[in-house]
Amino acid sequence: MTNEEITSGLASIVEEVAGVDAEEVSVEKSFVDDLDIDSLSMVEIAVQAEDKFGVKIPDDELANLKTVGDAVDYIVKNA
Amino acid sequence: MTTKDVVITGMGATTPLGGDVASTWDGLLNGASGTRTIEADWVDTYELPSRIAAPLAVEPNEVLPRVRLRRMDRCEQIALIAAHQAWSDAGFELPSEDAEPVEPERLGVAIGTGIGGPMTLLDQHETLKSQGLRKVSPLTVPMLMPNGPAAHVSLELRARAGVHTPAAACASGSEGLATGMDMIRSGRADVVVAGGAEACIHPITVAGFAQSRTLSTRNDEPERASRPFDVDRDGFVMGEGAGVVVLESAEHAAARGARIYGRLAGAGITADAYHITGSHPDGLGQINAINTAIGTAGLSTTDIGHVNAHATSTVVGDVGEAAAVRKALGDDVVLTAPKGALGHLVGGAGAVESIATILSLYHGVIPATRNLDNPDPKVELEVIAGEPRETNATAAVNDSFGFGGHNVALAFTRS
């Protein structure tokens, strides 16, 4: 799966869970500061991302995923 | 008016008769019924004796955006919908970065519910059992907690003067209004968004009420099932809905030139301390609640033109209430019972029916009691039936009672 495909897959999860327009979800965006996603929604996004990309995202790793790009990199390395 | 006067400046509702106050009021005046056959499979699965209910006329997903819906229990959704309507009706904009239409520290919320969000509780328990921890929503607790409806309204309207959730079973909505009035009178708030909400037409609630033998089983005639004060009544119809009003100190309302529907002039709250579900046969708790409501309102019994009865269409309850009202207010007061049309909205009932009471005074017309074909001879007061009745009365009482022995009477006056 390419980075673009992962970004697009994450974007659709973020739209489903938090209602952020998928087109707004790009690698440089911070989940909290730019996309206004709270910690509760981040838990849901992580669970859906685990299922979609076949990765495990433990809580201590999730805390480090500040931007969409961080999440894409993590998925690329761990999938 | 004194500074202690509490007025109603906005109203909102979503009920089995309509998705707002206007359609609900039209339904009450036109004798509509919100009762339907329950179409869900679980009625057959569990062989439930009551196969009828009064669901919302307008689904929340027709009103709120998808992502807001998935973060809230149905009970929270409808409280928010009714609060939005009431807030807008009162002439307020939603708070923004630039403007707070009411100072947050002077704005309170008091929205009661009977049981809050058990549908979320049950759904998420099923999810835990079938799919495990990972799939349990992180929003489970804020969705199931009974203070959730009030809390969501507080968040939306930026209300920081205190958020309350009276839980008094079927009297919760009325206790919400009484709590709001107290907050203003005690000086804690200038404006309180107050009411009640319930949305739990679910196999377990229907089964539980069925086992307590309180539900109508007139399954072949849903629209005729809820029949308060009628000799052939056989129980209540489980409904869902929310009612919310904007209560405001008269001073605050006058200062901004608000349209005033009427006054919440007094409230009486008592408890029977007798039986967990049944009212005390002497009716003293109900009588004292009415007396306290009109006493604190500075009204006399002859000021009260009509009582919006709690009257759920149960065999014992309706007769007991009529006797208590007669003892409290005499022979001349008339009753009306909107549950014949609405069904029983449980924690939403007292709030929605308060709105009906306020509008009766405001418009000078009292809706008739649907399905009152043959008044029970044991009811020794006149109950309005057939057509709505015009009224010149300046005051009315709304009665609400709840499992647990709760009695709440609210006295309203025209402004």
Q: Which amino acid is at B391?
A: T
Catalytic one among A21, A33, A38, A51? A38
- Calculate how close chain B gets to A67, using CA atoms only, in Å: 21
Q: What is the pLDDT of residues B233-245, one digit of tens each?
A: 999 999 999 999 9
Predicted confidence at residue B1, as pLDDT, reads 43
Q: Is B14 exposed, middle or buried (0-12, 13-18, 19+ CB in 10 A)?
A: buried
Closest chain A CA to residue B70:
A17
Task: List the catalytic residue out of B7, B21, B168, B170.
Answer: B170
Dihedral pair phi/psi, residue B263, rounded to 5°? -115, 140
Residue B401 CA to residue B282 CA, distance in Å, equals 15
The chain-wide mean pLDDT, for chain B, equals 97
Q: Identify the closest residue of chain B to A46 by CA–CA distance.
A: B134
Chain B residue nearest residue A37, CA to CA: B67
Mean pLDDT of chain A: 95
Residue ranges of domains in chain B, CATH in brackets = 6-262 (3.40.47.10), 267-414 (3.40.47.10)
Spatial distance between the Cα atoms of B305 and B137, rounded to a whole number of angstroms: 50
Distances (CA, A) of B139 to B135, B327, B398: 11, 49, 36
Hunting for tokens 């349209």 — which residue is that?
B259
Give the model's pLDDT for residue B275: 93
Per residue in B181-201, pLDDT (tens digit) is 999 999 999 999 999 999 999
Percent of chain B whose predicted confidence (pLDDT) is above 90: 98
Q: What is the CATH number of domain A1-76?
A: 1.10.1200.10
The phi and psi torsions of B236 (rounded to 5 degrees) equal: -95, 170
B415 band by pLDDT with thresholds 50, 70 and 90: confident
For B259, which DSSP code? -
pLDDT beyond 80 at A10: yes
The alpha carbon of residue A3 is apart from the nearest alpha carbon of chain B, in Å, by: 26
Could you tell me which of A6, A15, A4, A19 has the C-alpha nearest to residue A52?
A: A6
**Stated pTM of the model:** 0.96
Report chain A residues whose CB lies below 8 A from the CB of B65. 19
Query: ipTM strictly over 0.95?
Result: no
Give tens-digit pLDDT for B358-388.
Answer: 999 999 999 999 999 999 999 999 999 999 9
pLDDT at A79 over 90: no
